[in-house]
Amino acid sequence: MTIFLIGFMGSGKSTVANLLATDFIDMDAVIVDNIGMPISVYFERYGEPAFRQVESDVLKTLASSGQIVSTGGGVVSSKENRRILSESTSQVIYLKSNFSDLYARIMADKENVRPLFLEHTKEALEVIYESRKALYEMVATKTVLVTDKCPEDIVKEIQL
């Protein structure tokens, strides 16, 4: 069975996926392999809609992987992606947090500077967060509140 980890940027999807299985699939890394450049460069060159198309194509290929898959925070934006997530016989785990914690983590992550972070003010990013909240809930088969929890405890809750 495929297990998707979903949630906003900075919610710890990759860290938790790595603890669940060291051979987890990082969707963003698969996308980077496919496009042959960093996501931020792709965004700048081809725009967000082109990125979303690649993201959707990759999601389709991973739905039947039977692996632990950490997704990009925007995977729930499209109806088609939500259908894929809901229809596949997958578990979809939502790592839920509040915006201020997420923003602090996105800002602190110098290794992974997200294009949406560069392109938006804090207020605009919060609007995106608010618009996605219900979408994560909509497709999740399990929601784990990650605020003030270490990755190991989050993993324990997922495995309950």
Which residues share a beta bridge with 68? 3
Residue closer to ligand S3P, measured from CB, 70 or 89: 70
Q: For ligand S3P, which stretch binds (CB under 6 A), given 66-74, 79-87, 91-99, 151-159?
A: 66-74
Residue of minimal Cβ distance to ligand S3P: 72
Which two structure tokens, joined as six digits, stand for 111? 């290794």
Choose one: 60-68, 81-89, 109-117, 118-126; the region binding ligand S3P (CB under 6 A): 109-117
CB of 14 to ligand S3P, least distance (A): 6
Work out how close the CB of 70 gets to ligand S3P at its nearest, in angstroms, rounded to a whole number. 7
From the list 99, 115, 117, 97, the residue with the least C-alpha distance to 107 is 117
Which residues, 6+ apart, have CB-to-CB distance to 145 below 8 Å?
96, 97
72 in contact with ligand S3P (CB under 6 A): yes
Q: How many CA atoms lie within 13 A of 36 on its CB side?
A: 0
| Residue 25 contacts ligand S3P per CB under 6 A | no
Annotated binding site for ATP: 10-15, 114
Binding footprint of ligand S3P on the chain (CB under 6 A): 9, 13, 28, 39, 72-74, 114-116
